[in-house]
A and B are shown apart, each in its own frame.
Chain A
Amino acid sequence: GENVEQHPSTLSVQEGDSAVIKCTYSDSASNYFPWYKQELGKRPQLIIDIRSNVGEKKDQRIAVTLNKTAKHFSLHITETQPEDSAVYFCAPPMDSNYQLIWGAGTKLIIKP
């Protein structure tokens, strides 16, 4: 079945620095690559997604890059701020039924 791995599991960065979280997947037929953010005690929310026909997508301080050959996609957050502290999940779909396969999450800590 589909296997999804996220790295690192915890990431601590100084406010203002950049953060990068990587997601590796196994299903080569996946064509949709979302990132969700979940703040403590709140619901997961989609922050950015990319489809397989593009290699990069940016939205202000966040970006996602996709390497289909290597089967990984990464979340990039620049100029980090305290409100970026959260758990981030990648969730590429399993091709057979488009069920999302969730990574284990990366806890991002922004140090003041």
Chain B
Amino acid sequence: GAGVSQSPRYKVTKRGQDVALRCDPISGHVSLYWYRQALGQGPEFLTYFNYEAQQDKSGLPNDRFSAERPEGSISTLTIQRTEQRDSAMYRCASSLAPQGGGNQPQHFGDGTRLSIL
């Protein structure tokens, strides 16, 4: 696609429910990143993939959070048993090259605004 696409744009759910957030990266981009961004702050790293392999998940807050990218393209971030503190903007980014990924420009999606009631 032309840019990184995330869905849904907004998600409101009750505490305790599971949610799945989707990211469709730029076509051909090897690296895919998930971030969480609080209002007025910089993106907080959660995890990243090169192709289908999860390279680093050190930023995932706890074991309720998981991510996958089974075919090396679309990725899903899943939060189980949601809590109010999970409310945030979740952003996905992709970059072209696989080597490290941190030295390539990252292209961000518009994010999913998650609200837990």
Q: Determine if chain A interacts with chain B.
A: yes
Q: Which residues of A contact B (CB under 8 A)?
A: 31-32, 34, 42-46, 49, 51, 87, 89, 91, 93-94, 97-100, 102-105
Decide: A43 and B111 in contact? CB cutoff 8 A: yes
- Distance of B8 from chain A, by nearest CB (Å): 16
From B14-22, B39-47, B74-82, give the one contacting chain A.
B39-47
9 example contacts (A-B, Cβ-Cβ < 8 A) are as follows: A46-B105, A89-B42, A94-B102, A97-B56, A98-B101, A98-B102, A100-B102, A102-B43, A104-B42
Q: Give which listed residue, A43, A97, A103, contacts B108 with CB less than 8 A.
A: A43
User: From DSSP, what is the main secondary structure of chain A's interface residues?
Assistant: loop
User: From DSSP, what is the main secondary structure of chain B's interface residues?
Assistant: loop
Cβ–Cβ < 8 Å partners of A102 in chain B: 42-45
Decide: A98 and B103 in contact? CB cutoff 8 A: yes
B83 at the interface (CB under 8 A from A): no
Given contact pairs A43-B109, A44-B108, A97 touches B41 in the complex (Cβ within 8 A): no
Cβ–Cβ < 8 Å partners of A97 in chain B: 55-56, 100, 102
Chain B interface size, as a band, is 20 to 34
Cβ–Cβ < 8 Å partners of B59 in chain A: 99
- Distance of A106 from chain B, by nearest CB (Å): 10
Decide: A105 and B40 in contact? CB cutoff 8 A: yes
- Distance of A51 from chain B, by nearest CB (Å): 8
Decide: A44 and B43 in contact? CB cutoff 8 A: yes
Q: Give which listed residue, A43, A51, A94, contacts B91 with CB less than 8 A.
A: A43
Decide: A46 and B106 in contact? CB cutoff 8 A: yes
Cβ–Cβ < 8 Å partners of A45 in chain B: 108
Cβ–Cβ < 8 Å partners of B108 in chain A: 43-45
B65 at the interface (CB under 8 A from A): no
Cβ–Cβ < 8 Å partners of B42 in chain A: 89, 91, 102-105
Cβ–Cβ < 8 Å partners of B56 in chain A: 97, 99
B49 at the interface (CB under 8 A from A): no
Cβ contacts B27-47/A at 8 Å (1 or 0 each): 000000000000011111100
Decide: B102 and A93 in contact? CB cutoff 8 A: yes
B90 at the interface (CB under 8 A from A): no
